[in-house]
Structure 1
Amino acid sequence: MIPITHFIALDDAEIEESFVHASGPGGQNVNKVATAVQLRFDARRSPNLPEHVRTRLMELAGQRLTREGVIVIVARNFRTQERNRAEALRRLVDLIRQAAQRQAIRRPTQPTRASNRRRLEEKARRGDIKAMRSRKPPAD
């Protein structure tokens, strides 16, 4: 089990990993060894995700989400499979944790009377400055 939060944990069988050739660092080794990790997680069919977390996760996944509801994360930053596997899993866990956090409800507020007064005074001051620029000196 992979712990996500106190209430959410993923089963190891829900995550599918495949290894592909990576571009980037590695020298000649990069052409011989498949070090990049492609991690796949079926968010739509996961029994361990609550419904509200599932819908938010699918919104947050963006282009990493396929039409079938599978999240695909590719990690190729490191030269070893182990570090790339850990990086891909960390990214998935971070994404699910972010989806599990409740969004704060935005409550619209009114500006205070003092802030309105300050804003209007500043507007008047700027208007006076601009008006002074356009006045022509009196002709003698």
Structure 2
Amino acid sequence: MLEITNSLSIDERELEERFIRASGPGGQNVNKVSTAVELRFDVRRSESLPAPVRDRLERLAGRRVTDDGVLVIRADRFRTQERNREDARARLAALVREALHVPKKRIATKPSRAAKARRVDSKVKRGGVKKLRRSRPSFD
């Protein structure tokens, strides 16, 4: 189980890991050993997550979600398979934690009459400053 919070965890069977060759540091090792991890998680068909969380997760993940609703996380930051695996899982957990947060509904408001008056007064004052700069000095 991949623990997200105390009350929420993702079943291991819902995660699919593939080990691929990584680019970057590692010398000759980079061409021989598959240390990078591609973690796949089917967001749409997940039974571990509630529906609203799944929707928010799909929106948050953006380009990392395929057309079929599979979230793909590629981890190749480290030189060992195990650390990349932990990194991919930690990034998935962080993304799900972020999706758990329900955004506050925005309440449309209008500026007060006093705020409008202050804005107009400052614009008039600024216009006056610019008007003073326009006058040409006379050379008599």
Same fold by TM (over 0.5)? yes
Q: How far apart, in 1, do the equivalents of 2:113 and 2:27 lie? A: 66
1:10-61 Cα distance to aligned partner (Å, 9 max, x none): 0111111110000001111111111000000011111111010111111111
Q: How far apart, in 1, do the equivalents of 2:7 and 2:114 lie? A: 46
- Give the Å deviation of 1:128: 0.3
Give the secondary structure class of the aligned counterpart of 1:95. Answer: helix
8 Å contact kept, 2:43–2:58? yes
8 Å contact kept, 2:2–2:89? no
Give the secondary structure class of the aligned counterpart of 1:90. Answer: helix
Q: How far apart, in 2, do the equivalents of 1:101 and 1:56 lie? A: 9
Q: How far apart, in 2, do the equivalents of 1:111 and 1:28 lie? A: 64
- Give the Å deviation of 1:135: 2.2
Q: How far apart, in 2, do the equivalents of 1:12 and 1:68 lie? A: 20
TM-score by length of structure 2 reads 0.91
Query: What corresponds to 2:102 in structure 1?
Result: 102
Give the secondary structure class of the aligned counterpart of 2:97. Answer: helix
Amino acid at match of 1:100: L
1:88-128 Cα distance to aligned partner (Å, 9 max, x none): 11111111111111011111223234433322221111100
Query: What corresponds to 2:52 in structure 1?
Result: 52
Q: How far apart, in 2, do the equivalents of 1:35 and 1:86 lie? A: 12
Query: What corresponds to 1:5 in structure 2?
Result: 5
Amino acid at match of 1:36: A
The gaps in structure 1 that reach 5 residues or longer are none
Asked if 1:134 corresponds to 2:114, the answer is no
Identity across aligned pairs (percent)?
A: 53
Give the secondary structure class of the aligned counterpart of 1:92. Answer: helix
Asked if 1:83 corresponds to 2:83, the answer is yes
Amino acid at match of 2:41: F
Amino acid at match of 1:129: V
Q: How far apart, in 2, do the equivalents of 1:5 and 1:106 lie? A: 27
Alignment coverage as a number of residue pairs: 140
Q: How far apart, in 1, do the equivalents of 2:37 and 2:2 lie? A: 18
Asked if 1:32 corresponds to 2:32, the answer is yes
Query: What corresponds to 1:61 in structure 2?
Result: 61
